[in-house]
């Protein structure tokens, strides 16, 4: 597996913002403009976040080129989850009601998961006694590697370079 | 106010898909590739959907040019809601767990609304006795007009041409 990158706060980090101060999940890759983390959630093991590094609240605080860059990262994660896990559905969302720092949720959903077809923020529909992670087609650390390898590179080059360039 | 467009199903409409068969809300504008509707929800009156006209399930079923077109529509709605309503937060989401036909939710959220800071699919936090619509800075039909005018045009020309070209 690849070396895990270390979290480096943005130069404009705000001390009162949780996503400025801390990674917001298990850090998968960090780029100049964004980072990707995996949310460690027992109900939804294949749950990644794309977090914009600079402190902005809303999607349209990004210019169009930044939006395309950010959505390129979201799409790369979605494609990887679809290819490896064959989920029932992918869920994408950007809320920020609690932490108004731009971040996208990318979640692989399965018709057997604890909340399906409700959103992950909705009402629990069932228990998954053996644990959701055990039902995935792939070990989570290998999934992290696949996600990392699929991310757009920094300044050209091969996908995966973003993670490799971080210590 | 502008003339309301009529819903025209896609040529690949599936009879078993709710978003192929019906508008999915109050139709604001219809383009070759997408349409915009307003969801009539008493708790969240400023709630729009961008629905991809062709029956595809996932975001990455669109090619990159289509993704950019679709997100351009989402962004235009977000900018309009921010400019007119000054919401506490904009919420964006694409789930499709119940109706797996690509659509984006664009919702203006307020710190006084029934569910804030929970997502609109979460747990109700409070009642808004006078009704949420009465607290908006703008009448909903005028808001619809502003959203329609802000949408990207079909094949160039001025914003708003998309709606005007539909009967």
The tokens of B105 are what? Answer: 């939710």
The number of CA neighbours under 13 Å toward the Cβ of A9 is 13
pLDDT of residue B47: 98
- Is the CB of residue B12 less than 8 Å from the CB of residue B55? yes
The number of CA neighbours under 13 Å toward the Cβ of A50 is 27
Nearest CB to A95: which of B68, B71, B119? B119
| CATH among 3.30.428.10, 3.40.50.800, 1.25.40.10, 3.30.70.1560 for B18-109+138-155 | 3.30.428.10
Pick the closest to residue B16 from B133, B120, B124, B101 (CA basis).
B101
Helix (H, G, I), strand (E, B) or coil at B28: strand
Task: Determine whether A18 is exposed, middle or buried from the number of CB atoms within 10 Å of its CB (0-12, 13-18, 19+).
Answer: exposed
Chain A residues lying within 8 Å of B119, measured CB to CB = 93, 95, 97, 119, 121
Give the dihedral sign, CA B57/B63/B64/B66: negative
Question: Measured at the alpha carbon of residue B17, what is the angle toward residues B15 and B21, in degrees to the nearest 5?
Answer: 65
CA distance A26 to B10: 42
Chain A residues lying within 8 Å of B57, measured CB to CB = 89
- Is the CB of residue A37 less than 8 Å from the CB of residue A27? yes
DSSP secondary structure of B6-18:
PP---TT--TT-H
Question: Measured at the alpha carbon of residue B71, what is the angle toward residues A88 and B148, in degrees to the nearest 5?
Answer: 120
Chain A residues lying within 8 Å of B68, measured CB to CB = 68
Give the residue on A whose Cα is nearest the Cα of B98: A117
Average pLDDT over every residue of A61-88 = 98
Give the residue on B whose Cα is nearest the Cα of A93: B93
- The radius of gyration computed from the CA coordinates of chain A, to the nearest angstrom, equals 16
A83 in contact with B, Cβ within 8 Å = no
Chain A residues lying within 8 Å of B59, measured CB to CB = 74-75, 78, 90, 92
A66 in contact with B, Cβ within 8 Å = no
Per-residue tens of pLDDT for chain B, all 167 residues: 566 788 999 888 999 999 999 999 999 999 989 999 999 999 999 999 999 999 999 999 999 999 999 999 999 999 999 999 999 999 999 999 999 999 999 999 999 999 999 999 999 999 999 999 999 999 999 999 999 999 998 654 444 434 333 33
Domain locations along chain A: 18-109+138-155
């Amino acid at each position: 597996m690849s070396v895990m990158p270390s979290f480096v706060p943005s130069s404009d980090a705000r001390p009162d913002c949780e996503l400025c101060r801390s990674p917001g999940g298990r850090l998968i890759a960090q780029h100049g403009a964004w980072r990707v983390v995996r949310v460690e959630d027992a109900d939804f093991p294949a749950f990644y976040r794309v977090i914009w590094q600079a402190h902005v609240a809303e999607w349209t605080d990004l210019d169009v080129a930044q939006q395309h860059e950010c959505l390129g990262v979201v799409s790369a994660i979605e494609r990887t989850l679809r290819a490896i896990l064959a989920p029932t559905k992918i869920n994408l969302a950007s809320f920020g009601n609690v932490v108004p720092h731009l971040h996208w949720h990318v979640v692989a959903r399965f018709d057997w998961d604890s909340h399906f077809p409700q959103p992950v923020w909705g009402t629990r529909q069932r228990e998954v006694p053996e644990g959701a992670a055990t039902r995935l087609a792939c070990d989570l650390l290998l999934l992290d590697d696949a996600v990392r390898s699929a991310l757009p590179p920094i300044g050209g080059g091969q996908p995966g370079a973003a993670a490799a360039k971080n210590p």
